[in-house]
Amino acid sequence: MSNGQVDSVKKVFVIGLDSAPPELLFNRFLEDMPNVRKLLERSLHGPMKSCIPAITIPAWMVMNTGKTPGELGLYGFRHRKKGTYNNIWIAHSLMVKEKAVWNHLGENGKKSIVIGVPPSYPPKKINGCMIGCFITPDANSDYTYPESLKGEIERLVGEYIFDVVFRKDERDEVKEKLWEMTEKRFEVIRYLIENKEWDFFEFVEIGLDRVHHAFWKYFDETHHLHEPDSRYKNVIRDYYRLLDKEIGKTLKLLDMDETAIMIVSDHGVKAMKGAFAINQWLIEEGLLKVKSKEIEAGSKLERLDVDWKNSTAWAWGGYYSRIFINVEGREPEGRIGAERFYEVRDEIAELVRSIRGPDGERWDTKVYYPEDIYPVAKGDRPDMMVYLDNLNWRAAGTLGYESPYLEENDTGPDDAVHSEHGVFSIYIPGMESSRQLITEIYDFAPTVLKLFGIKQKLKGRSVV
């Protein structure tokens, strides 16, 4: 029985499924996915621990560069501009200065095709082709490298779809657009496999993440908002079937005798138990002062009259929360002297860890300081990063509610939150059996480079 021959690898094909969790892909829905199952039966596979934070941006770029979020200076989709309270910049490809695997491969004469790997807008010049990811504004943008590729795509599928609006009540529209987006993406993928030169091919399908967020409560009987016998109860399962059908058609175009095939996800997913209005809690604790007497439910902090001179801290919502200390000399109206920063931050962190659930239950809340978990922490980092009840509760940045505990997300319908473990699998030509393994997101880049005989000093390790 062969475990595969690394020396026979001529090409590497990477199937990126944003938010695929091992519990569903490797277990619950595996019987609905005969093509993936057949591949896994000849693969090393298992859960892959994501980075902190376990968020699409930065996780995909962490995976592809082998660098931490701190080294990349990417802590999420949006970042606070230095010296401001709420001015932000949105992550984009030009902020990534570290080399990704396709950059290393290009330096060694290898051609790559990269589709939708966040953040890849605007698309950068590579030795091969690149198509922008979900942050691409729309199809009017220059979303391909080379630019001429855009015309080929539009002649093939018409208007290319980068993402769908998934936090909306019109679920039928979400479902219809998800299917259209994914079918078009795979049509483009198969066209490029057959019509372009490549040694390395990686694509990311964002649709899986969106279907989880939009339809989780309909299929998960344990979800606190579960709707039994909903006509949407099989949408997630049907989407996994769609993925399997498209993956099966795609695998038929690959030469399994010379191509290593990987399936990876940036993080996992689980049911959202609710949202916690973190700024409302900071007000209740006396750490954030607001001059407004009456605050309308759902108010955004940046639209309120905040008494910054007497505020100690404020926060952002999201799958994880970022908390900032109001530091003298750093913020426009800072009040905490630099000499007290660490003392005050530790005190707030202890308070955050002591937050209990709506019924008094103990939470497994985690607080991370960027300088403690990264070798360096570049860019506009938060002062602390918070996983409320280990990500089971989403952070709501808005406020004005009767209680800080919300049954639903504050920015639109959203049934799911992220979990720490995504998936990793790899098939090597000649492999005839499967084996379980546990990986970290940092192992991806060294593994890909090893398959091409390239050594780089990176955080992870090659699994082959």
Give the pLDDT confidence of 294-339 residue by residue, as tens digits.
899 999 999 999 999 999 999 999 999 999 999 999 999 999 999 9
Specify the 3-state DSSP secondary structure of 226. coil
pLDDT digits (tens, 9 = 90+) for 387-402: 999 999 999 999 999 9
Residue 321: its H or E element: strand 321-325
DSSP track, 84-115: -SS-EEE--GGG--SPPHHHHHHHTT--EEEE
pLDDT score for 1: 41
Q: What is the structure's pLDDT at 86?
A: 86
CATH class as words, domain 3-269+418-452: alpha beta
Phi, psi torsion values for 262, nearest 5 degrees: -120, 145
**Count of C-beta atoms within a 10 Å radius of residue 401:** 18
**Mean pLDDT of the region 435-456:** 96
Across the chain, which distance is largest between two alpha carbons, in Å?
A: 73
Residue 103: count other Cβ atoms within 10 Å of its Cβ: 16
Which tens digits make up the pLDDT trace of 244-281?
A: 999 999 999 999 999 999 999 999 999 999 999 999 99
Question: What is the number of alpha carbons within 13 Å of residue 9 lying toward its C-beta?
Answer: 25
How confident is the model over 340-390, as pLDDT tens digits?
A: 999 999 999 999 999 999 999 999 999 999 999 999 999 999 999 999 999
Phi and psi dihedrals of 106, rounded to 5? -60, -40
- Left (φ > 0), alpha (ψ -120 to 50) or beta: where does 193 sit? alpha
- pLDDT > 90 in the chain, percent: 96
Q: List where CATH 3.40.720.10 sits in the chain.
A: 3-269+418-452
Does pLDDT of 28 surpass 70? yes
How far apart (Å, rounded) are the C-alpha atoms in residues 114 and 31?
29
pLDDT band at 2 (very low <50, low <70, confident <90, very high): low
Alpha helices in 298-397 (DSSP H): 341-353, 370-373
From residue 207, alpha-carbon distances to 153, 192, 255, 308 in Å are 19, 20, 27, 40
- pTM across the whole model: 0.96
Which pLDDT band, with edges at 50, 70 and 90, does 154 fall under?
very high
* Stated length of the chain: 464
